[in-house]
Amino acid sequence: MSAGPDAVDEIVVDIEGDIAVVRLNRPAKRNALNDQAILGLEAAFRTFGPGVKAAVLHGAGEHFSAGLDLSELVEVDLNAAIEHSRLWHRAFEAIEFGRVPVVSALHGAVVGGGLELACATHVRVAETSAFYALPEGQRGIFVGGGGSVRLPRLIGVSRMMEMMLTGRVYRAEEGYGFGFSHYVAPVGEGLAKAKELARKIAGNAGRTNFALIQALPRIAEGDRAAGYLMEALMSAIAQDDGEAKSRLRAFLEKRADKVAPQPD
């Protein structure tokens, strides 16, 4: 299933039970993101049906995404450049603050706008082939897809600044330690791991997932007093759900698994 009539070849969406699998589909361009792809992403993440409980985002071919298709910046005037950046902001906000949690499967290049896109997802699985970079500093430009807002919250302002000043490239293993990803998987196994996590997430209570992707980021970034109030409200709303009550009864009656470390 395509994301829409204007993005037939750029973005492909497949529904697998209660998860949606969204694929960047420009492998010959290392999944560089042009306007058509960005519009396709926004359309896809805004139009999931009610049966979709979680989503996976990945790239076709050897790379997740090499970032912005630079041909779209040539001869762009100031006003158009601002609108271009805002287009990316809207599309990535549809991912970060959309209806469902999103797991990304990263491999090969996760560079520039591709890294900005990955940062908009909630859980990131990186194959050992993945590498991260922000070459905008060497291109004479600046990030424009929300990276200056999202990435410092993951890796810190200083490390992002160093990446852009020097053109440094981080590999998957060291990137994991710095917060680029939550998991590292062998080459060829990232998508399967991402689907496994998405199915697990889809099994959570709906109100809990809503609180985690909508309320938690705003609580963490906002005023403490307001955060405590929002936390109390979200906690009460979640606990009042019939599904939550059923799950709590199952635990008390020893019909639910206890928390324990999982084997590697």
Mean pLDDT by groups of 10 residues along the chain of 264 residues: 52 97 97 96 96 98 94 76 94 98 98 98 98 92 94 97 96 97 98 98 95 96 95 91 74 72 68
DSSP letter, residue 214: I
pLDDT of 240 reads: 83
- Domain(s) of CATH 1.10.12.10: residues in the chain: 206-252
Indicate the pairing of strand 19-24 with strand 170-171.
Answer: unpaired
Q: Tokens for 243?
A: 């599904």
User: Which one of 10, 42, 116, 127 is the catalytic residue?
Assistant: 116
Q: Reply yes or no on whether 116 is catalytic.
A: yes
CATH class of 206-252: mainly alpha
Q: Rounding to the nearest 10 degrees, give the CA dihedral for residues 168, 181, 60, 7.
A: -100
Residue 193 Cα to chain centre, angstroms: 15
Residue 6 near residue 36, CB atoms below 8 Å? yes
Q: Reply yes or no on whether 136 is catalytic.
A: yes
Number of Cβ atoms within 10 Å of the Cβ of 197: 22
Number of Cβ atoms within 10 Å of the Cβ of 161: 13
Q: Tokens for 170?
A: 């981080």
- Domain(s) of CATH 3.90.226.10: residues in the chain: 11-202
Phi, psi angles (nearest 5°) of residue 173: -65, -45
Closest alpha carbon to 65 in 19, 113, 101, 14: 113
Contacts of 18 (CB under 8 A, 6+ apart): 51, 52, 53, 54, 199, 202
Q: How far apart are the first and last CA of the chain?
A: 35
pLDDT of 67 reads: 94
CATH class of 11-202: alpha beta
Residue 214 near residue 99, CB atoms below 8 Å? no
Largest Cα separation within the chain, whole Å, is: 66
User: Which one of 42, 96, 127, 136 is the catalytic residue?
Assistant: 136
pLDDT of 2 reads: 45
Residue type, 60: A
Phi, psi angles (nearest 5°) of residue 29: -105, 20
pLDDT of 75 reads: 67
Distance CA 30, CA 170 (A): 18
